[in-house]
């Protein structure tokens, strides 16, 4: 391509007199036409497909961001729901533990009361048995004492 440009330049300088800064010959419209044609070709072959790819990529990124935001919001909602469920489960567990402690305390007190009542009943039963045996022993002792006293009195009276 550079050789073609060099030939075009050599041909331009050989046949025409040099002007000032710009030569207004047929090369200027030819260059303008080349720029316009190159612009149309680049638009149709490069800029439109690249622009379409960039727009598609931007659309994909926007869609991905939207989906990511939705998923993040959903994850935050699920996290909040799970925290609420966990909080409820903890409260329920504390309630169950408290009820179990109260039930065990109640059962302990009931068992203690039954044991104390049994102990008191056993003690009272033993006391009444002991009192009955004591009364029986005292009455037997009194009877023996009365008999011995009568026997002593009879012997003393018969011996005198």
Domain residue ranges of the chain, discontinuous segments joined by +: 36-159
Q: What would the mean pLDDT of 57-72 be, rounded to a whole number?
A: 96
* Model pLDDT for residues 17-62, shown as the tens digit of each residue: 555 566 667 787 888 899 999 999 988 888 888 889 999 999 999 9
If one compares 27 and 16, the residue with the highest pLDDT of the two is 27
Q: What is the model's pLDDT at position 22? A: 63
Q: What is the model's pLDDT at position 18? A: 59
The Cβ-side half-sphere exposure at 21, using a 13 Å CA radius, reads 0
Contact indicator for 29, 22 with CB cutoff of 8 Å: no
Is the per-residue pLDDT at 90 higher than 70?
Answer: yes
Q: What is the model's pLDDT at position 75? A: 97
- CA 11, CA 55: separation in Å to the nearest integer? 46
Q: What would the mean pLDDT of 93-115 be, rounded to a whole number?
A: 96
Query: How many other C-beta atoms can be found within 10 angstroms of the C-beta atom of residue 23?
Result: 14
* DSSP letter assigned to residue 16: S
Q: What is the model's pLDDT at position 153? A: 86
Q: What is the mean pLDDT of the chain?
A: 87
If one compares 113 and 10, the residue with the highest pLDDT of the two is 113
If one compares 153 and 106, the residue with the highest pLDDT of the two is 106
- CA 14, CA 8: separation in Å to the nearest integer? 10
Q: If you count them, how many residues does the chain have?
A: 160
The pTM of this model reads 0.44
- CA 74, CA 80: separation in Å to the nearest integer? 10
Q: What would the mean pLDDT of 58-82 be, rounded to a whole number?
A: 97
Contact indicator for 12, 27 with CB cutoff of 8 Å: yes
Is the per-residue pLDDT at 8 higher than 70?
Answer: no
Q: What is the model's pLDDT at position 148? A: 87
Q: What is the model's pLDDT at position 29? A: 82
Contact indicator for 83, 76 with CB cutoff of 8 Å: no
């Amino acid at each position: 391509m550079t050789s073609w440009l060099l030939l075009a330049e050599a041909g331009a300088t050989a046949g025409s007199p040099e002007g000032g800064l710009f030569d207004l010959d047929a090369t200027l419209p030819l260059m303008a036409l080349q720029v316009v044609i190159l612009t149309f070709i680049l638009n149709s072959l490069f800029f439109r497909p690249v622009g379409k790819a960039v727009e598609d990529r931007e659309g994909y990124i926007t869609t991905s961001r939207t989906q990511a935001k939705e998923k993040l919001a959903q994850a935050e909602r699920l996290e909040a729901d799970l925290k609420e469920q966990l909080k409820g489960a903890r409260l329920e567990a504390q309630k169950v533990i408290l009820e179990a402690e109260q039930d065990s305390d109640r059962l302990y007190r009931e068992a203690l009361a039954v044991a104390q009542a049994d102990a008191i009943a056993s003690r009272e039963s033993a006391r009444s048995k002991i009192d009955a045996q004591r009364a029986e022993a005292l009455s037997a002792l009194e009877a023996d004492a009365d008999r011995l006293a009568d026997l002593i009195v009879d012997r003393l009276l018969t011996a005198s």
